[in-house]
Structure 1
Amino acid sequence: MTVFKTVLGAGAALAMSAVAALAEPGLIIDLGGKFDKSFNEAAYNGAQRWVKETGGSYIETELQSEAQREQNMRKMAERGANPIVVLGFANASTLERVAPDYPDTNFAIIDMVVDQPNVLSIVFAEHEGSYLVGMLAGMKTQTKTVGFIGGMDIPLIRKFACGYVQGVKAVDPSIRVIQNMTGTTPAAWNDPVKGAELARAQIAQGADVIYAAAGGTGVGVLQAAADAGIYSIGVDSNQNYMHPGSVLTSMVKRVDNAVYNVFKAGTEGTFKPGFLLMNLANDGVGYALDEYNAALITDEMKAAVEDAKAKIIAGEIKVHDYMSDDSCPVE
């Protein structure tokens, strides 16, 4: 009987390890859709890169409403996805509840910190990347007026705005920065019509460069800027291609790398819960320079930004993080 139990136990253990080895990672796309050309799409692209390089497959679901957050998270865990990547600050409280119920499932959350033993929290130094594109805006403006259009009015988006203003003011403290937020609900991430309206209002006030940190809403901002013959700055994904010659640059936030690395670590058995900061030093954020905007960025502009980048990494330039104290030293 003892021998039988031992053999049975060994067989069960092998079966369980085989299941674990075959576990597919999961990705929960946030509100706004996976083809928002910004945050969600960057995550999707990272997952697709992993598929292309490994031949693996993953489980994906898209949120259609706030009410689906917990339901989708639990369903994905129950389907056996491991690790599971959830996108955005709005998932934090849900993950705090869900993660303890699935202790053998690893989770990663992007843009928020969840202190659970099976969760990797990935955050970005958006203020650092925004500082660099702010410098480019400050060097490019002819009217000494630039704009910022955020999505949902939350501390995270204020963090983008504050970094941007600091970069602009580093070039010329007299430059005016007009700031607008799209709304106070998640609908603010996917309202390109409102984005275009806000952009036109800023253009009417003299803005000739507008930075959009607003998810899918930013598509309307970039379109309105192109229509008016002024410059825009994209966000998260490299959006330079959308309006060549009009998009000055994009503040790239490597959400794609974050998702790719989580999937890779999960399937290779190297996933480690904890905390990860993606910043200028590890190429977690930056500014996009390619064939679509190369003619817009002079050698002098690039040199100035690269110098600032090196000084931020070295700690010689301190970019204030709005989320550290809910304030910005410059406006």
Structure 2
Amino acid sequence: MRRLLLTLALLPGLAGAADLPKIIYVRPVPMNDDVLLQQGSNGVNNAAKLYKMQASTLESQATRAGRLQQLDNAVKQGAKIVVVMGIEFKDLLDSVARQAPQTRFVILEHCIDNAASNITCITFRESEASYLAGMQAALVSASGKIGLIGASNTALRQKNSEAFSNGAHAAKPAISVHEPLWVEGAQPFNDPPRAEALTKTMLGDGVDVIWAAAAGSNSGVFKALTPQNRGKAIGSGVNQCIQAPGKVLDNVEVHADSAIILAVGLLANGSTAPRFDFGLKEGAVALTALGLDAAYSECDILHQRPVLQKLREASSAIISGKLKVD
């Protein structure tokens, strides 16, 4: 029996997992309930199944030294592909990559100028879904005033804000778009009280539909919405309709897991591209209400079929190239 097992292990296609190429996901912090970071693990695990690789996740201590150590550990473990998410890796990755030319490094969103040739950056055409969110907000608004509350005023967020405004005016030219309000501060992505205060300010200015684009701070936006002010929100990142039933119309979703699977597939087939850019066409960004499992989302917009039809038509036009968002 022992000899038979040895013979089987040596046959092509029957090698054990230890013989498969390794793909390692390095988290910027220890395991927590961050849904986007969890998408990183899911994407790497599913890509490994599809492309016959051995997947694992390394959790970093939330320090520069901790993240650098885990990047080095991934290289020492013989990773063929290392995947990272988070701006925390932007200043670390290039030097590590130059010392490990045999490894392909993939970083989501935060591209590096003049990066080493073995680094691939994944970017998302979030502006496509942002445009659709603006259309939706305008079409649903009863007051004729809509707005956006974001985490931090960066170039990317400004681009999404502009797309939101453009989509709104395309759907309803007379719509009034409030100046974006930003959470900022020490924890812009996790400051619900600050987001709640900004929401009350915006509601006081007559806005009745708010795109909550502030990640973990969004719960503050939802808290400020009451039957009395009749305010509604559009969530972001993942499906947040289930967090505040009746208050959230829809969501602008980012599917980092899908993007990772697509990127790994291209790399496994020989691509050495420095950048992959994914959007609606690739399923890397989307509106929850236009997804295959929309019926189970609990999103309030599902009750407004004429609006959904207009969003479907606009989404199809963007995917086909007939409608240019940027």
Q: TM-score range by the shorter chain?
A: 0.7 to 0.9
Residues 50-61 of structure 1 aligned to structure 2 (within 5 Å): 57-61=55-59
* Unpaired segments ≥5 residues, structure 2: 1-14
> Any idea what the Cα deviations from partners look like across 1:202-245, whole Å, max 9, x if unmatched?
22222221112222222332333368652111112222222222
| CA distance in structure 2 between the aligned counterparts of 1:165 and 1:47, rounded to whole angstroms | 35
Q: Which moved more, 1:228-237 or 1:131-140?
A: 228-237
Give the letter for the 1:216 counterpart: G
Q: TM-score, normalised by structure 1?
A: 0.78
Q: How many residues align?
A: 300
* Deviation of the 1:92 alpha carbon: 2.7
Q: Which moved more, 1:91-100 or 1:158-167?
A: 91-100
* Deviation of the 1:106 alpha carbon: 1.6
Structure with the largest fraction of helix: 1
Give the letter for the 1:163 counterpart: A
Residue 44 of structure 2 contacts residue 55 of structure 2 at CA under 8 Å; is this kept in 1? no
3-state SS of paired residue (1:83): strand
* Unpaired segments ≥5 residues, structure 1: 1-16, 321-331
Per the alignment, residue 273 of structure 1 pairs with 272
Per the alignment, residue 145 of structure 2 pairs with 145
Give the letter for the 2:236 counterpart: V
| Pair 1:98-2:99 in alignment | no
Residues 131-142 of structure 1 aligned to structure 2 (within 5 Å): 131-142=131-142
* Deviation of the 1:180 alpha carbon: 1.1
Per the alignment, residue 236 of structure 1 pairs with 237
| Pair 1:163-2:160 in alignment | no
| Pair 1:248-2:249 in alignment | yes
Residue 239 of structure 2 contacts residue 251 of structure 2 at CA under 8 Å; is this kept in 1? yes
> Any idea what the Cα deviations from partners look like across 1:171-205, whole Å, max 9, x if unmatched?
223322231111166x2122222222222222222
222 and 33 in structure 1: CA distance in 2 versus 1, 3 angstrom threshold = farther
Residue 226 of structure 1 contacts residue 243 of structure 1 at CA under 8 Å; is this kept in 2? no
Q: TM-score, normalised by structure 2?
A: 0.79
Match of 2:37 among 37, 40, 43: 40
Match of 1:300 among 297, 306, 311: 306
Q: Which moved more, 1:290-299 or 1:92-101?
A: 290-299
| CA distance in structure 1 between the aligned counterparts of 2:78 and 2:168, rounded to whole angstroms | 47
| CA distance in structure 2 between the aligned counterparts of 1:157 and 1:41, rounded to whole angstroms | 22
Give the letter for the 2:37 counterpart: N
Per the alignment, residue 62 of structure 2 pairs with 64
3-state SS of paired residue (1:120): strand
> Any idea what the Cα deviations from partners look like across 1:154-178, whole Å, max 9, x if unmatched?
1111122111111111122332223
Larger RCO (CA under 8 A, 6+ residues apart): 1
Residue 39 of structure 2 contacts residue 257 of structure 2 at CA under 8 Å; is this kept in 1? yes
| CA distance in structure 2 between the aligned counterparts of 1:141 and 1:271, rounded to whole angstroms | 48
Residue 235 of structure 1 contacts residue 250 of structure 1 at CA under 8 Å; is this kept in 2? yes
Per the alignment, residue 177 of structure 1 pairs with 177
Per the alignment, residue 129 of structure 2 pairs with 129
Per the alignment, residue 328 of structure 1 pairs with none
Give the letter for the 2:168 counterpart: V
Alignment RMSD: 3.1
Q: Which moved more, 1:21-30 or 1:117-126?
A: 21-30
Per the alignment, residue 110 of structure 2 pairs with 112
